[in-house]
Structure 1
Amino acid sequence: MSRETDEEREKRYHKLFDEIDVKKTGKICSNDFIDTFKKRNHPLQNSEIAIIEIFHAFDSNNENYIDYKRFKEYLIQAEEQILHGFNTLDLDNDGRLCKDDIRHYLKNYLNIEPSDAEINKFFNSLDYRKDGIITYDEFRDFLLFMPRLHGSRIRTAYQFFNDKLEFTNSEGDVTVLDDFLKGFGFFLAGGLSGVISRTATAPFDRVKVFLIARTDLTSTFLHSKLEIENNIELLKHQKITEPNKIKSPIIKAAKTLYRQGGIKAFYVGNGLNVLKVFPESAMKFGSFEIAKRFLCTVEGVDDPTHLSKISTYLSGGFGGVVSQFAVYPIDTLKYRVQCAQLDSNLRGTQLLIKTAKEMYSDHGIKIFYRGLLAGVTGIFPYAALDLGTFSTIKKWYFQKESKRTGIPEDDIKLPNHIVLSMGAVSGTFGASMVYPINLLRTRLQAQGTFAHPHRYNGFFDCARKTIMREGYSGLYKGLTPNLLKVAPSVSISYLCYENLKSLFHLE
């Protein structure tokens, strides 16, 4: 292991910088960087795209130049990662690597089955002293200017030297296309995961909306005296003689929905839900990933996993706001459909079209955005707490497992049951914190319907009247079924998203 002092390391950094800063301006531009690497005996000297990748890693602020401060910051961070990797490879802790160490790491940490020829080629590339062993200095110097693709410099180097990673096209078209496809992949993974989770938990959402829309349950099938008299034969057949003994509002709501529409009643509006949730979830996760990468440039880090907590939470809030704007009109229409009379002759698409026409005819396009301010106000903290908390817990888990097992954080696998638990915690926490805002927004969207005939003059008027009629507890009506929906919904969503990211090779 290197016993380099701080002074020696500083001199080495200055020497490296001076070698690249051929014009002695104190700032290294991309052309200087490329020219220097082409002249140096570097493994990637003939691969301009690879050199540009390295330059961008240094140029964290995207200013197209590197000063000594950023140069040093990158080297310090890179060497910390390289030292961690060396210690993981060095099985017997003797400060030297042999071929068996390399083979063990590739097989057990990177899931690569190397052949003897591949091991020899890769090992000989690192062993530039040609003495049969690799010291830390050799390991560090070799990987220091190696792109960290897919989270691992070792993987990049191994694939490159064994012709499994090709850098071609000096114009960079391949890199641009790869970035585009990766960005699209985040949106696609997010959209698919949202559709799956929302469909699986649709009945919980239906009960939640049912409870939110009604200020009491006297209008439900179980409590309406007129309907009991008109349906006495049905009640006898169902053996319900004392409906008032049912005290749980969730059970009342569920039984009412079932008697008025059967199993299908729990999926009223789900077709619209799916139509809404794909772009909503796609925009949420996709915007979240974009925001994280943008804030990486602001903070000067080269990986979203190194972002500060505040930036991670802000990225989550941004993703939520973008998704809310994108699908808000569909959201409003869905609530209006769910609050229509269940015994209506209209069903499905006919009910959807009729509701949309009536909304537009009565109030124009603005009715589709009723409660938007409340929605955005509520979605930012919710998405920030949900996505931010999940990412924070995930990062903590990787750090804990890395310390426990000695495996680099980038190589830790996230078990599905852990993803489900993390999703349940983050989703429940976020939903509980902002539920009153969500309730008021829903009532603003549903006002004037069969289920919720009350009308309001805005968000604060809705809050005041809700508290007057139902007390402060009314702000949390429907919270239990909402949480019963949120926990599995968010868990399933994250489970699908994490696995789809792995399937699409997005991280």
Structure 2
Amino acid sequence: MSQQPISLPAKLINGGIAGIVGVTCVFPIDLAKTRLQNQRPGQQVYKSMVDCLVKTVRSEGYFGMYRGAAVNLTLVTPEKAIKLAANDFFRQQLSKDGKGLTVLKEMLAGCGAGMCQVVITTPMEMLKIQLQDAGRLAAQRKPVVVCSSKLVSGPMLSRSYNVAAAPTALSATQIARKLLHTQGIQGLYRGLGATIMRDVPFSVIYFPLFANLNRLGKPSPEQSAPFYWAFVSGGLAGSAAAVAVNPCDVVKTRLQSMSKATNEETYSGVMDCIRKILRKEGASAFLKGAGCRALVIAPLFGIAQVMYFVGVGEYIVENSPLRLLSPP
């Protein structure tokens, strides 16, 4: 980790900037990941990530690739800030004996960070998935046309057509209000168990792997690794952790998808979801979207670590009224 202590306001700023920049860059890939994970056998709308993005642009326009981005951009700042700051806090607590952190202690610190972040991650993912998956569901719904013909006086044939109305698109605010009204706060935390199953192992893998990869780039034990090495280390560790926990991400995505296409399976919980996926789609279904997820996480965490270690947050704090919040 960084050799110089970083204040809490700076940690929050670093995490927030990194999250916003990262989400803006990779959100279309994240949208493709969600839609690919939700596809069932025999109901494939998209063949691959590229096919998904091309069809999304054709049917929904360029900004269709950013469905749900507003939710992420709003909540990713506290999420990434909590994740990075919590890991740093736990590492400091576990190293108070003056000894270097063992891999086990690094994993415990990552576990604590993962447990903290789900407070924000679960409702953020819940709302984001509804918006991201709307295009896939719309593409699967074929208009139902009923044609009735009758002869009327004169030679003209009159025909009336009844076309099924397209579902009204809801905003994140409307979805949140609906969930709170019908299910209470637990509605926003649907899939909490699956989110913990994904994010805690992710952090357990990511933070120790990043710390050890980053350590390889240090010129000496007293010096920090160059910023480009932090980026590469963050990207490699993030993509490895993302692929490792992708099965949990598939389960989480399925559980948090409220709207279903015709004949799509519903799930009562984590174990029910796992059993039905295995029985109807096979084990390979748990790797759906793994490539997309790696492509999302790698730059996202690479950027996060560069911001964190270069000290963008410290610069902002020291040159703004926020310096009053920093300890002397």
TM-score (structure 2 length as normaliser): 0.79
Instruction: Determine if contact 1:371/1:445 at 8 Å carries over to the other structure.
Output: yes
> Are residue 420 (structure 1) and residue 253 (structure 2) matched?
no
Work out which of the residue numbers 381, 389, 394 in structure 1 matches 2:201: 381
Instruction: Determine if contact 1:301/1:307 at 8 Å carries over to the other structure.
Output: no
Greater RCO between the two (CA within 8 Å, min separation 6)? 2
Give the letter aligned to residue 191 of structure 2. G
**Equivalence map 1:230-249=2 (5 Å):** 248-249=47-48
> Are residue 286 (structure 1) and residue 80 (structure 2) matched?
no
d(CA) in 2 for partners of 1:416 and 1:346? 46
Deviation (angstroms), 1:451: 9.0
Work out which of the residue numbers 13, 25, 32 in structure 2 matches 1:188: 13
**Equivalence map 1:439-458=2 (5 Å):** 439-450=250-261, 453-458=264-269
Instruction: Determine if contact 1:279/1:327 at 8 Å carries over to the other structure.
Output: no
> Are residue 369 (structure 1) and residue 189 (structure 2) matched?
yes
In structure 2, do the counterparts of structure 1 residues 292 and 418 end up closer, same or farther at CA, with 3 Å as the change threshold?
same
Give deviations 1:239-261, integer Å, cap 9, x for gaps.
Answer: xxxxxxxxx42233222211221
RMSD: 2.6
Give the letter aligned to residue 8 of structure 2. G
Q: Which residue of structure 2 aligns with residue 397 of structure 1?
A: 217
Instruction: Determine if contact 1:427/1:490 at 8 Å carries over to the other structure.
Output: yes
- Alignment length, in residue pairs? 287
Deviation (angstroms), 1:368: 1.5
d(CA) in 2 for partners of 1:456 and 1:491? 35
Deviation (angstroms), 1:432: 1.3
> Are residue 322 (structure 1) and residue 116 (structure 2) matched?
yes
Q: Which residue of structure 2 aligns with residue 203 of structure 1?
A: 28
d(CA) in 1 for partners of 2:72 and 2:168? 18
Deviation (angstroms), 1:294: 1.0
In structure 2, do the counterparts of structure 1 residues 397 and 448 end up closer, same or farther at CA, with 3 Å as the change threshold?
same
Helix, strand or coil for the counterpart of 1:301? Answer: coil
d(CA) in 2 for partners of 1:217 and 1:491? 37
d(CA) in 2 for partners of 1:330 and 1:486? 16
Instruction: Determine if contact 2:217/2:229 at 8 Å carries over to the other structure.
Output: no
Give deviations 1:219-242, integer Å, cap 9, x for gaps.
Answer: 63x7xxxxxxxxxxxxxxxxxxxx
Work out which of the residue numbers 265, 270, 283 in structure 2 matches 1:459: 270
d(CA) in 1 for partners of 2:182 and 2:276? 24
Give deviations 1:243-282, integer Å, cap 9, x for gaps.
Answer: xxxxx42233222211221111111100101112111000
d(CA) in 2 for partners of 1:308 and 1:289? 15
Q: Which residue of structure 2 aligns with residue 296 of structure 1?
A: 95
Work out which of the residue numbers 74, 77, 81 in structure 2 matches 1:275: 74
Instruction: Determine if contact 2:179/2:187 at 8 Å carries over to the other structure.
Output: yes
Give the letter aligned to residue 117 of structure 2. S
Instruction: Determine if contact 2:122/2:191 at 8 Å carries over to the other structure.
Output: no
Q: Which residue of structure 2 aligns with residue 262 of structure 1?
A: 61
Q: Which runs of 5+ in 1 are unaligned?
A: 1-149, 152-178, 223-247, 403-408
Work out which of the residue numbers 105, 109, 130 in structure 2 matches 1:311: 105
Work out which of the residue numbers 268, 279, 282 in structure 2 matches 1:471: 282
d(CA) in 1 for partners of 2:262 and 2:304? 30
Helix, strand or coil for the counterpart of 1:457? Answer: coil
Helix, strand or coil for the counterpart of 1:286? Answer: helix
In structure 2, do the counterparts of structure 1 residues 358 and 449 end up closer, same or farther at CA, with 3 Å as the change threshold?
farther
Deviation (angstroms), 1:488: 1.9
Q: Which has the larger radius of gyration?
A: 1
In structure 2, do the counterparts of structure 1 residues 359 and 449 end up closer, same or farther at CA, with 3 Å as the change threshold?
farther
Instruction: Determine if contact 2:75/2:120 at 8 Å carries over to the other structure.
Output: no
Helix, strand or coil for the counterpart of 1:339? Answer: helix
d(CA) in 2 for partners of 1:196 and 1:273? 11
Deviation (angstroms), 1:203: 0.8
d(CA) in 1 for partners of 2:10 and 2:262? 40
Deviation (angstroms), 1:427: 0.7
Give deviations 1:295-343, integer Å, cap 9, x for gaps.
Answer: 122xx117xxx22221122112211220112332222111122222576
Q: Which residue of structure 2 aligns with residue 438 of structure 1?
A: 249
Deviation (angstroms), 1:413: 4.4
Instruction: Determine if contact 1:202/1:267 at 8 Å carries over to the other structure.
Output: yes
In structure 2, do the counterparts of structure 1 residues 451 and 485 end up closer, same or farther at CA, with 3 Å as the change threshold?
farther
The percentage of counterpart residues that share the same residue type is 23
Q: Which runs of 5+ in 2 are unaligned?
A: 139-165, 319-325
d(CA) in 2 for partners of 1:452 and 1:357? 27
In structure 2, do the counterparts of structure 1 residues 451 and 439 end up closer, same or farther at CA, with 3 Å as the change threshold?
farther
Instruction: Determine if contact 1:339/1:452 at 8 Å carries over to the other structure.
Output: no
Q: Which residue of structure 2 aligns with residue 334 of structure 1?
A: 128
d(CA) in 2 for partners of 1:198 and 1:452? 33
Helix, strand or coil for the counterpart of 1:215? Answer: coil
In structure 2, do the counterparts of structure 1 residues 281 and 317 end up closer, same or farther at CA, with 3 Å as the change threshold?
same
In structure 2, do the counterparts of structure 1 residues 217 and 285 end up closer, same or farther at CA, with 3 Å as the change threshold?
farther
In structure 2, do the counterparts of structure 1 residues 496 and 337 end up closer, same or farther at CA, with 3 Å as the change threshold?
same
Q: Which residue of structure 2 aligns with residue 4 of structure 1?
A: none
d(CA) in 1 for partners of 2:184 and 2:25? 34
d(CA) in 1 for partners of 2:10 and 2:256? 33
Deviation (angstroms), 1:415: 2.3
Q: Which residue of structure 1 aligns with residue 152 of structure 2?
A: none
Helix, strand or coil for the counterpart of 1:367? Answer: helix
Instruction: Determine if contact 1:333/1:355 at 8 Å carries over to the other structure.
Output: yes
